[in-house]
């Protein structure tokens, strides 16, 4: 750089300064305005919260906030509350001001730090009336005792999480007496029934946005995409592909992450890409048919863009919704979708591959609903009341994600082993709760015989419990407990600690009957369903397709088809995994954008909306719409599967038999040494101890996926964890070469 260039640069910098200053002043004014409105809103919420019949969900909808935000301002509404949507990837949609869709929390570009360590052990003296289960005393007396009256069973204040200064979330409870009993009903005129129509098939194309290679049924071409903007992709694709192609799956390149370095959150980068300029004649899709949503889905990793040009409609989606393509070219990815359809066709006569595995999974399930006259549930599976659905949404977490760091484990460990339960959820779909649940209060449970109590805990159920960990406990935590933050969970492990939470019957049973030492469980309240098998036929068909694809991948002579079948088998897993997730209906969060007025004037937000972002030209907003009348809303099914899967991470029977006893072998974290568990990731365990569990190829069996039998530095954050995960898999794969 010479002096002339330096002077020119200073002149340019001054111009940027002069342009930036008024914008900063406008932003400061806007922030001050927003601050005043938030204060006014908080005052109004507190005022409305004093009304005797006030409910947190109605105030949340009117305020444009989550229920958990309302409870923070008006703690007296906590028993009726239902926190916001979970962090494990719910969909997020962005729409124009007159369009509706669903929204997920923003994801930072950088990996999140390791979760905060749980607080120090504490003991809370039991108060209230509960039925207590635990270790039978040495004198042989019963392990069931009634302590007092159930009214204040869960009234203990929330403990403070160590190192955060934040109080743990207080989970909602069922109101006492007739008010709570009224929750136990079905929604009128709302049930899951078999559809009487067949989904429309959509033409698909597969695009590598990095190389420009496009593959569809009609051929293969290489496109010049430049920076792969929306406008460039739509123009280039439809210059060669017919209008019948309505879904463009991006297999590589992630064009929506362009300019991510300019945004704090990946979601913001995605939204900016989706809302970029469009070619002449194209607009954001407004509506089309009952199997379509309008607007864009803003997900940080797997977004969906929807546009239309006259009667022509199209989507740009990520194939990552279905599986990790692992470098496969677009032709191989297309072959995987063909193999997927061929594998499903023998089991589902009306199979149509929809845009996502979750949509496909729910549609396939709906076609297994009984229709024969006189068959049980032929009139449809009833949908529970909004109150019960809200309670399950707030108290039933998903997969266990936990990183265990020093000093709980050594700074350096003797090895790294990853074992994963393959197609695990299929193992937990044979029995599910159906119909309207019974309420089992502490007094009701205490009045049961020991056999009735055991049957209740083994039946499809969901329990509010107070838990006391044995004083000499040294292994991992067994039951989820609420942690600071929306939908955050951790797993207390400190000996002697007492906490209150909700858990499924599978986990309560595991805590009582684990192979190390039983935990003390006090039943405070619960939901007990009739046992049925609404998911069994569906999951069995998916299991058969999964096994067939895996078998074909093992013996196929063509490498491309071998890889295609492997990818297709993973797509079947996604159909099961995300199909189950669709039953867990969440509050509908709509989001949209409005253009700034002349001079940067901020427009009025829609009623009940809150401001979430601002750019030079637009503002974005979101609004909580509450729970919709969804005929397929069955959070009790998703909650039961998730609970059973979390319990199986700790201890589960495998398909292998003990040669001496003939009984199933056991596997899981509790069958490994204390202090050897380094992490959990949904269906996977990461440990420093060698694992020799035999893999039988059945759903839920543990498969060794990574191994480094030499000393490693223990990961302290997600970045280090994923680095070791990749190294472990590479090392194990190299052993087989």
Q: Which of 308, 304, 243 is nearest to 273 (CA)?
A: 304
What residues have CB less than 8 Å from 579, skipping those under 6 apart?
357, 358, 360, 361, 362, 364, 365, 538
Residue 400 pLDDT more than 70? yes
Mean predicted lDDT score pLDDT of the chain: 83
Higher pLDDT, 596 or 528: 528
Residue 576 pLDDT more than 70? yes
- Give the per-residue pLDDT at 324: 94
- Give the per-residue pLDDT at 615: 67
- Give the per-residue pLDDT at 148: 32
Question: Widest CA span of the chain, in angstroms?
Answer: 94
Tokens linked to 717: 């954050």
Residue 83 pLDDT more than 80? no
Tokens linked to 540: 């069995």
Tokens linked to 211: 């190389």
Q: What pTM was computed for the model? A: 0.75
Whether the Cβ atoms of residue 599 and residue 570 lie closer than 8 Å to each other: no
Q: Which residues pair with 167 in a beta bridge?
A: 160
Residue pLDDT, tens place only, 362-378 = 999 999 998 887 788 88
Reported confidence tier of residue 608, pLDDT bands at 50, 70, 90 = confident
Whether the Cβ atoms of residue 154 and residue 463 lie closer than 8 Å to each other: no
Residue 272 pLDDT more than 90? no
Whether the Cβ atoms of residue 638 and residue 396 lie closer than 8 Å to each other: yes
Whether the Cβ atoms of residue 648 and residue 667 lie closer than 8 Å to each other: no
Higher pLDDT, 420 or 152: 420
What residues have CB less than 8 Å from 675, skipping those under 6 apart?
408, 409, 410, 474
Whether the Cβ atoms of residue 213 and residue 330 lie closer than 8 Å to each other: yes
Reported confidence tier of residue 75, pLDDT bands at 50, 70, 90 = low
**What 3-state class would DSSP assign to 64?**
coil
Reported confidence tier of residue 84, pLDDT bands at 50, 70, 90 = very low
- Give the per-residue pLDDT at 139: 35
Average pLDDT over residues 16-39: 78
Q: Which of 378, 369, 381, 384 is nearest to 436 (CA)?
A: 384
Query: Can you state the angle between helices 330-344 and 536-555, rounded to 10 degrees?
Result: 130
Residue 142 pLDDT more than 80? no
Average pLDDT over residues 643-656: 93
Higher pLDDT, 631 or 53: 631
Higher pLDDT, 737 or 649: 649
- Give the per-residue pLDDT at 287: 61
Average pLDDT over residues 199-227: 95
- Give the per-residue pLDDT at 82: 33
Residue pLDDT, tens place only, 680-695 = 999 999 999 999 999 9
**Parallel, antiparallel or unpaired: strands 213-216 and 296-297:** unpaired
What residues have CB less than 8 Å from 680, skipping those under 6 apart?
400, 401, 402, 649, 669, 686
Average pLDDT over residues 546-565: 93
Q: Where are the beta strands (DSSP E) in 566-683?
A: 589-595, 610-614, 618-624, 652-657, 664-667, 677-681
Whether the Cβ atoms of residue 576 and residue 423 lie closer than 8 Å to each other: yes
Average pLDDT over residues 616-635: 75
How far apart CA 726 and CA 706 sit, in angstroms, is 8
- Give the per-residue pLDDT at 114: 34
- Give the per-residue pLDDT at 78: 55
Q: Which of 508, 535, 540 is nearest to 650 (CA)?
A: 508
Higher pLDDT, 169 or 654: 654
Whether the Cβ atoms of residue 175 and residue 80 lie closer than 8 Å to each other: yes
Q: Where are the beta strands (DSSP E) in 4-130?
A: 93-96
- Give the per-residue pLDDT at 66: 61
How far apart CA 690 and CA 728 sit, in angstroms, is 13
What residues have CB less than 8 Å from 266, skipping those under 6 apart?
106, 107, 108, 109, 257, 260, 300, 301
Residue 314 pLDDT more than 60? yes
Residue 380 pLDDT more than 60? yes
Residue 182 pLDDT more than 70? yes
- Give the per-residue pLDDT at 591: 61
SS (H, E, C) 362-398: HHHHHCCCCCCCCCCCCCCEEEECHHHHHHHHHHCCC
**What 3-state class would DSSP assign to 647?**
helix
Most confident of 60-69, 79-88, 125-134, 635-644: 635-644
Reported confidence tier of residue 604, pLDDT bands at 50, 70, 90 = confident
16-20, 62-66, 348-352, 497-501: segment of lowest average pLDDT = 62-66
Tokens linked to 475: 């292994």
Residue 298 pLDDT more than 90? no
How far apart CA 590 and CA 609 sit, in angstroms, is 9
Q: Is the dihedral of CA 375, 380, 385, 389 positive or negative?
A: positive
CA distances (Å), 716 to each of 113, 418, 690, 713, 721, in order?
Answer: 9, 17, 21, 9, 7
Q: Which uninterrupted H or E stretch holds 458?
A: helix 450-458
Average pLDDT over residues 40-48: 84
Average pLDDT over residues 417-446: 95
- Give the per-residue pLDDT at 152: 38
Average pLDDT over residues 22-32: 76
DSSP state of 98: T
What is the CA angle 98-101-105, rounded to 5?
A: 125
Q: Any alpha helices (H) in 206-356, and if so which ranges?
A: 230-237, 266-274, 330-344
148-152, 212-216, 229-233, 708-712: segment of lowest average pLDDT = 148-152
How far apart CA 689 and CA 190 sit, in angstroms, is 50
- Give the per-residue pLDDT at 586: 67
Reported confidence tier of residue 294, pLDDT bands at 50, 70, 90 = low
Residue pLDDT, tens place only, 250-268 = 999 999 998 888 888 888 8
182-196, 410-424, 480-494, 553-567: segment of lowest average pLDDT = 480-494
211-225, 291-305, 523-537, 610-624: segment of lowest average pLDDT = 610-624
Whether the Cβ atoms of residue 67 and residue 56 lie closer than 8 Å to each other: yes
Q: What is the dihedral of CA 170, 171, 177, 181, to 10 degrees?
A: 160
How far apart CA 224 and CA 61 sit, in angstroms, is 46
CA distances (Å), 691 to each of 417, 630, 671, in order?
Answer: 7, 44, 10
**What 3-state class would DSSP assign to 189?**
strand
Whether the Cβ atoms of residue 304 and residue 312 lie closer than 8 Å to each other: no
Residue 606 pLDDT more than 90? no
Higher pLDDT, 221 or 159: 221
- Give the per-residue pLDDT at 736: 73
Average pLDDT over residues 144-169: 46
Higher pLDDT, 565 or 106: 565
Residue 399 pLDDT more than 60? yes
- Give the per-residue pLDDT at 98: 31
What is the percentage of the chain residues whose pLDDT exceeds 90?
57
CB atoms within 10 A of CB 376: 10
DSSP state of 265: B
166-170, 240-244, 255-259: segment of lowest average pLDDT = 166-170
145-159, 174-188, 423-437, 445-459: segment of lowest average pLDDT = 145-159
**Parallel, antiparallel or unpaired: strands 245-252 and 203-208:** parallel
30-34, 233-237, 569-573: segment of lowest average pLDDT = 30-34
Q: Which of 588, 587, 592 is nearest to 621 (CA)?
A: 592
Residue pLDDT, tens place only, 95-109 = 332 332 333 333 333
Residue 458 pLDDT more than 70? yes
Average pLDDT over residues 634-639: 96
Burial (CB count <10 Å: 0-12, 13-18, 19+), residue 102: buried
């Amino acid at each position: 750089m010479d002096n002339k260039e330096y002077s020119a640069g200073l002149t340019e910098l001054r111009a940027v300064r002069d342009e930036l200053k008024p914008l900063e002043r406008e932003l400061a004014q806007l922030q001050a305005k927003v601050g005043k409105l938030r204060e006014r809103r908080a005052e109004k919420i507190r005022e409305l919260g004093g009304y005797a019949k006030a409910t947190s969900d109605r105030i949340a909808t009117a305020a444009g906030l989550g229920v958990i935000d309302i409870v923070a301002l008006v703690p007296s509404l906590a028993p009726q509350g239902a926190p916001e949507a979970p962090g494990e990837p719910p969909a997020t949609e962005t729409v124009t001001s007159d369009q509706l869709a669903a929204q997920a929390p923003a994801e930072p570009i950088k990996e999140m730090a390791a979760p905060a360590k749980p607080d120090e052990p504490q003991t809370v003296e039991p108060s209230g009336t509960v039925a207590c289960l635990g270790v039978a005393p040495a004198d042989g007396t019963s392990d069931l005792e009634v302590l007092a009256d159930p009214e204040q069973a869960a009234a203990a204040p929330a403990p403070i999480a160590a190192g955060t200064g934040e109080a743990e979330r207080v989970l909602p409870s069922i109101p006492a007496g007739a008010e709570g009993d009224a929750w136990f009903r079905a929604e009128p005129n709302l049930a899951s029934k078999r559809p009487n129509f067949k989904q429309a098939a959509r033409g698909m194309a597969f695009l590598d946005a990095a190389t420009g290679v496009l593959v569809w049924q009609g051929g293969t071409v290489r496109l010049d995409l430049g920076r792969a903007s929306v406008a460039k992709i739509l123009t280039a694709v439809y210059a060669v592909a017919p209008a019948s192609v309505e879904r463009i799956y991006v297999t590589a390149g992630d064009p929506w992450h362009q300019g991510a370095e300019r945004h704090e959150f990946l979601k913001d980068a995605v939204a900016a890409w989706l809302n970029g300029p469009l070619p002449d004649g194209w607009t954001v899709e407004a509506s089309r048919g009952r199997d379509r949503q309008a607007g864009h889905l803003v997900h940080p990793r797997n977004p969906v863009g929807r546009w239309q040009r006259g009667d022509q409609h199209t989507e740009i989606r990520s194939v990552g919704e279905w599986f990790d393509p692992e470098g496969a070219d677009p032709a191989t990815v297309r072959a995987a979708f063909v193999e997927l359809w061929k594998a499903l066709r023998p089991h589902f006569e009306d199979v149509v591959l929809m845009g996502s595995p979750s949509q496909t999974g729910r549609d396939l399930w709906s076609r297994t609903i009984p229709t024969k006259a006189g068959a049980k549930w032929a009139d449809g599976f009833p949908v529970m009341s909004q109150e019960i659905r809200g309670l399950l949404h707030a108290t039933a977490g998903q997969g266990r994600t936990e990183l265990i760091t020093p000093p709980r484990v050594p700074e350096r460990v003797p090895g790294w082993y990853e074992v994963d339960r393959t197609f695990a959820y299929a193992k937990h779909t044979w029995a599910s709760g159906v119909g309207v649940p019974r309420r089992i209060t502490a007094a009701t449970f205490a009045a049961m015989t020991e056999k009735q109590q055991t049957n209740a805990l083994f039946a499809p159920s969901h329990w509010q419990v107070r838990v006391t960990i044995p004083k000499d406990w040294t292994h991992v935590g067994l039951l989820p407990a609420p942690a600071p933050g929306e939908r955050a969970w951790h797993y207390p492990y400190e000996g002697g600690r007492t906490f209150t939470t909700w858990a499924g019957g599978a986990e309560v049973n595991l805590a009582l009957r684990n192979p190390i030492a039983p935990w003390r469980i006090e039943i405070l309240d619960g939901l007990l369903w009739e046992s049925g098998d609404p998911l069994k036929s569906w999951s069995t068909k998916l299991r058969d397709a999964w096994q067939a694809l895996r078998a074909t991948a093992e013996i196929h002579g063509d490498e491309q088809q071998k890889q295609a079948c492997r990818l297709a088998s993973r797509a079947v897993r996604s159909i099961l995994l995300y199909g189950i997730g669709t039953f867990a209906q969440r509050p509908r969060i709509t989001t949209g954008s409005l253009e700034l007025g002349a001079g940067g004037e901020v427009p009025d937000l829609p009623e009940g909306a809150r401001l979430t972002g601002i750019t030079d030209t637009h503002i974005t907003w979101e609004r909580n719409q509450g729970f919709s009348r969804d005929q397929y809303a069955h959070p009790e099914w998703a909650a039961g599967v998730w609970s059973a899967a979390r319990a199986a991470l700790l201890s589960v029977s495998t398909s292998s038999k003990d040669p001496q006893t003939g009984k199933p072998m056991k596997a899981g974290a509790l069958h490994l040494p204390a202090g050897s568990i380094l992490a959990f990731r949904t269906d996977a365990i990461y440990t420093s101890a060698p694992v020799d569990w035999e893999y039988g190829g059945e759903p839920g069996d543990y498969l060794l996926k990574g191994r480094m039998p030499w000393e490693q530095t223990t990961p302290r954050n997600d970045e280090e964890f994923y680095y070791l995960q990749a190294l472990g898999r590479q090392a194990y794969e190299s052993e087989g070469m």
